Amino acid sequence: MNKYMSIAALIFLLAASPVRGAEVPLYKDAAAAPAARAADLLGRMTVEEKFGQLQQLDGLWEGNYREEHLKLAREGKLGSTLNVRTAPFANTLQKEAVENSRLGIPVLFAFDVIHGYRTIFPVPLGESAQWDPLLAEAAASAAAEEAYSVGLKWTFAPMVDIARDPRWGRIVEGSGEDAYLGSRLAAARVRGFQGSDYGAPGKVMACAKHWVGYGAAEAGRDYNSTDISESALRNIYFPPFKAAVEAGVPTFMTAFNDLNGVPSTANKRNIAGVLRSEWGFKGFVVSDYTSVKELILHGLAADGEDAAVKALSAGVDMEMVSTLYRETGPAALAAGKISQADLDASVLRVLELKFRAGIFENPYIDPALEAKTLKTPEKLALALNAALKSMVLLKNEGALLPLDPKLKKVAVIGALADSRADMLGSWSADGKPADAVTLLEGIKEAVSPVTWVSYSSGAFAGATDKDLDKAVAAAAAADVIIAAVGETFDLSGEAASRVSLALPGRQLELLERLKKTGRPVVAVVFNGRPLELGWLNDNIPAILEAWQPGTQAGSAVAQTLFGKSNPGGKLPVTFPRSVGQVPIYYGHRNTGRPPDAKEKYTSKYIDSSFEPLYPFGYGLSYSSFAFSGLAVSPASIKPDGKVQVSFEVKNISRRSGDEVAQVYIKDEAGSETRPVRELKGFQRVTLAPGEARVLTFELGPAELGWHYAGGFAVEPGRFKIYAGSSSVGGLEASFEVKP
Ligand code: BGC
């Protein structure tokens, strides 16, 4: 039987079904197809129950349900909750729905499991710096196992918004600026959460969010309007969502922003049109938190009923937190403002996924599972590996790093070095700060027993002259100063946009004074967004970008600083020199007057370099690598053909290490101008000293094509290929696409 059959076919089947007339209704037959069960159940529901299934309500922060949830569940009017979790709370609420409601439809429990549930992995932007989709998949899989063990069956992840403005605090939640890297990671995370069947124990349904364009918030201000061309939507913002659909994501969440004048939560062309009709998405769409109600403030809906009508008719199946579907839906239906077909289609989509998720058969969670599942040694080891792989070495003058573990005196400076909560990031689910290893602890673990480690907190908000003096005095006597700088966890994430990308507080002043001690300084940067690190780059010999690395933060950073691990991550996002360059990203167009330092009338600044501080794809290692022998064959192809790109990467140092080989294209001329470079392949490889490996990439229509006004096409003409260790420089070759 077809996985998703038409309603007409279902009615026919039901009429002929042998279960008909039997005591057990078809929808309760676990062996029947989910679509058939959903259709059978729909036929038994009242209008109120239907709208009730489209309602998602928020629980209490600690995981409990609210009193009203029990009543709604009993009445069959609670489709889903967010934040209700752990066996005592989830099972009690579930019992009302399953055993005490008329039809026994279970509640679907959701939560934001973004980069781990209890074992916390690096923030998604840091995870993206691994350039290792299999590792991201493994982290999502571990997170799913933990989430499942506390009764959850749905996570609001992955967040796949492309972001090119680091003022926007939510840049931390995504994969950075690039559509290709973002697409690979979107698919990997979906696979990790769901496995091959999200209905299986230990798996959860994923949710691609926020559909769509949320990352383009004007001025980087969260929730702000967006205005995005069709070309940018198709070529930049849509691809990670499409990749999530292709990886089997069953749910989407709409975004808060209005896009080209139409709020995402009522954007029919994108939900019913692009997502469902064009891409064939069969799952359901949930609004963001109260975003149905917000249609009124946007100025799209006149009142609550109008908001419900517009969102539901656009294809938003489930309403998160606001209650307009439930409250105004029945009357709007009776008045013909909501069509019966739209309502039924939404309810069917929700029910079908509930059947597929297996919660009719397994509505409860075993209270004993949590203790066996959370923070197991395997998961902690994975979190350590993930944190190690996310480290990006930005500068290492005179090979200051790695440090010798037998140094006599190490001064650790900066409050972030002794902070647990700040290691976890802004969406750390049920991660406990107490579980996190601080940098100070990690350093003490990593150095020899005779090394003396001092600590001084330094320079965050509220720091006094005395605090700074103390830190500088402690540092002056040390063999090396390790300065932990950057942002606290609450300076990025939702509703945490900044107009400045500078180090907050008096951290720069502290670094200036530390430099004056004449002792070598290593800066470790903890952050959820690109920061202005220009002064550091000019003055501090070694800089390690650590992001917010999660539960194993301190161990990972210290093992990297002291050489037990060799950093090999690469930036998934451009680091500007100053906020005035924003938005700045590698995949820009060339313009008719590309920047030329010697020519005034070219596209640049008169008061700053036009170049970023650190480009996309950039990152150093304690090893050195050489690229050679770029070959592209054949030399010409048809638009539907494929080219093989191969080259050698060699470790030319005496240390084993990782390099991320990157392949970029440039379509030299076409009916629409294209970016100066587009990432189209990468591979992270570990190479022993002297080891060389030939890497081969195949590029076909999916990689070479572009969404033009007339549709997706590979246009004839010359394509350049770049292969190297970042988005700048590298080997060059070219080939021709012939009509
Ligand atoms: C965020 C979503 C999140 C939801 C539920 C909203 O404020 O935008 O990303 O999934 O809350 O917590």
Q: How far is the CA of 312 from the centre of ligand 1 (A)?
A: 19
Q: Which candidate, 105, 113, 124, places its Cα nearest to that of 83?
A: 113
Instruction: Categorize the per-residue pLDDT at 628 as very low, low, confident or very high, splitting at 50, 70 and 90.
Output: very high
Amino acid at 87: A
**One CATH from 3.40.50.2300, 3.40.50.300, 3.20.20.70, 3.40.50.1700 for 379-581:** 3.40.50.1700
The partner residues of 724 in beta bridges, in order of sequence, read: 662
Q: How confident is the model at residue 459, as a pLDDT?
A: 72
Which mutation among 123, 156, 256 tests ligand 1's pocket best, with the greatest number of atoms within 8 A of CB? 156
Q: How far is the CA of 528 from the centre of ligand 1 (A)?
A: 17
Q: How far is the CA of 272 from the centre of ligand 1 (A)?
A: 22
The yes-or-no answer on residue 288 being catalytic is yes
Q: How confident is the model at residue 5, as a pLDDT?
A: 44
The partner residues of 678 in beta bridges, in order of sequence, read: 665
* 177 secondary structure, DSSP code: S
How far is it, in rounded angstroms, from Cα 714 to Cα 640?
7
Given the CA of residue 255, which atom of ligand 1 is nearest to it?
8
Peptide bond into 69 cis (omega under 30): no
Which mutation among 288, 320, 497 tests ligand 1's pocket best, with the greatest number of atoms within 8 A of CB? 288
Answer yes or no: is the C-beta of 459 below 6 A from any ligand 1 atom.
no
What residue owns the CA closest to ligand 1's atom 11?
A: 289
Instruction: Categorize the per-residue pLDDT at 463 as very low, low, confident or very high, splitting at 50, 70 and 90.
Output: confident
Answer yes or no: is the C-beta of 51 below 6 A from any ligand 1 atom.
no
Mean pLDDT score of the chain: 96
What residue owns the CA closest to ligand 1's atom 7?
A: 289
- Nearby residues of 40 by Cβ (< 8 Å), 6 or more positions away: 14, 25, 26, 27, 32
Residue 623, SS3? coil
Answer yes or no: is the C-beta of 281 below 6 A from any ligand 1 atom.
no
Which mutation among 171, 264, 289 tests ligand 1's pocket best, with the greatest number of atoms within 8 A of CB? 289
Question: Which run of H or of E encompasses 191?
Answer: helix 179-194
- Write b or e for each residue in 9-47: b if 16 or more Cβ atoms lie within 10 A of its Cβ, otherwise e: ebeebbeebebeeeeebbbbbeebbbbbbbbbbbeebee
pLDDT average, residue stretch 222-237: 98
Report the predicted TM-score, pTM, of the whole model to 2 decimal places. 0.96
Q: How far is the CA of 680 from the centre of ligand 1 (A)?
A: 31
Q: How far is the CA of 551 from the centre of ligand 1 (A)?
A: 22
- Look up residue 44 and give its two tokens: 């038994």
DSSP letters spanning 554-604: HHHHHHHHTTSS------SS-B-SSGGG-S--TT----SS---TT-TTSSS
Terminal-residue alpha carbon distance, the chain: 42
The partner residues of 347 in beta bridges, in order of sequence, read: none
Answer yes or no: is the C-beta of 156 below 6 A from any ligand 1 atom.
yes
Q: How far is the CA of 539 from the centre of ligand 1 (A)?
A: 40
Answer yes or no: is the C-beta of 161 below 6 A from any ligand 1 atom.
no
Given the CA of residue 256, which atom of ligand 1 is nearest to it?
8
Mean pLDDT is lowest, of 16-25, 57-66, 217-226, 241-250, for 16-25
How far is it, in rounded angstroms, from Cα 420 to Cα 434?
7
Answer yes or no: is the C-beta of 173 below 6 A from any ligand 1 atom.
no
pLDDT tens column, 646-687: 999 999 999 999 999 999 999 999 999 999 999 999 999 999
Which mutation among 112, 170, 287 tests ligand 1's pocket best, with the greatest number of atoms within 8 A of CB? 112
Torsion of CA 233, 491, 298, 50, to 10 degrees: 80
Q: For the chain, which residues make up each domain, given as ranges?
A: 379-581, 625-737
Answer yes or no: is the C-beta of 208 below 6 A from any ligand 1 atom.
no
pLDDT average, residue stretch 182-201: 98
How far is it, in rounded angstroms, from Cα 514 to Cα 470?
11
Answer yes or no: is the C-beta of 509 below 6 A from any ligand 1 atom.
no
Residue 159, SS3? strand
pLDDT average, residue stretch 255-278: 98
Residue 638, SS3? coil
The Cβ of residue 729 has, within 10 Å, a number of other Cβ atoms equal to 11
For residue 348, how far is the Cα from the chain centroid? 29
How far is it, in rounded angstroms, from Cα 485 to Cα 266?
42
* 417 secondary structure, DSSP code: G
What residue owns the CA closest to ligand 1's atom 6?
A: 289
Q: How confident is the model at residue 461, as a pLDDT?
A: 66
Percent pLDDT > 70 in the chain is: 97
Answer yes or no: is the C-beta of 209 below 6 A from any ligand 1 atom.
yes
What residue owns the CA closest to ligand 1's atom 12?
A: 112
pLDDT tens column, 338-357: 999 999 999 999 999 999 99
Answer yes or no: is the C-beta of 294 below 6 A from any ligand 1 atom.
no
Given the CA of residue 173, which atom of ligand 1 is nearest to it?
9
The alpha helices in 412-506, defined as continuous H runs, are 421-424, 439-446, 465-476
Q: How far is the CA of 209 from the centre of ligand 1 (A)?
A: 9
What residue owns the CA closest to ligand 1's atom 2?
A: 288
Answer yes or no: is the C-beta of 58 below 6 A from any ligand 1 atom.
no
Mean pLDDT is lowest, of 41-55, 468-482, 572-586, for 468-482
How do 409-413 and 284-286 pair as beta strands? Answer: unpaired
Q: How confident is the model at residue 377, as a pLDDT?
A: 98
* 689 secondary structure, DSSP code: T
Active-site option among 132, 178, 258, 288: 288
Q: Which candidate, 646, 650, 657, places its Cα nearest to that of 627?
A: 650
Query: What superfamily in CATH does domain 625-737 come from?
Result: Immunoglobulins (2.60.40.10)
239-246 vs 179-194: helix crossing angle, rounded to 10:
30
Q: How far is the CA of 553 from the centre of ligand 1 (A)?
A: 25
How far is it, in rounded angstroms, from Cα 335 to Cα 306?
12
Q: How far is the CA of 215 from the centre of ligand 1 (A)?
A: 14
User: Does residue 22 have a pLDDT over 70?
Assistant: no
Q: How confident is the model at residue 315, as a pLDDT?
A: 98
- Nearby residues of 250 by Cβ (< 8 Å), 6 or more positions away: 194, 198, 205, 206, 282, 283, 284, 353, 356
Q: How confident is the model at residue 320, as a pLDDT?
A: 99
Q: How confident is the model at residue 20, as a pLDDT?
A: 47
pLDDT tens column, 357-385: 999 999 999 999 999 999 999 999 999 99
The Cβ of residue 484 has, within 10 Å, a number of other Cβ atoms equal to 30
Answer yes or no: is the C-beta of 494 below 6 A from any ligand 1 atom.
yes
pLDDT tens column, 172-189: 999 999 999 999 999 999
How far is it, in rounded angstroms, from Cα 500 to Cα 200?
46
C-beta of residue 485 within 8 angstroms of C-beta of residue 525:
yes
What residue owns the CA closest to ligand 1's atom 4?
A: 289
User: Does residue 19 have a pLDDT over 50?
Assistant: no
C-beta of residue 390 within 8 angstroms of C-beta of residue 383:
no
Q: How far is the CA of 253 from the centre of ligand 1 (A)?
A: 9
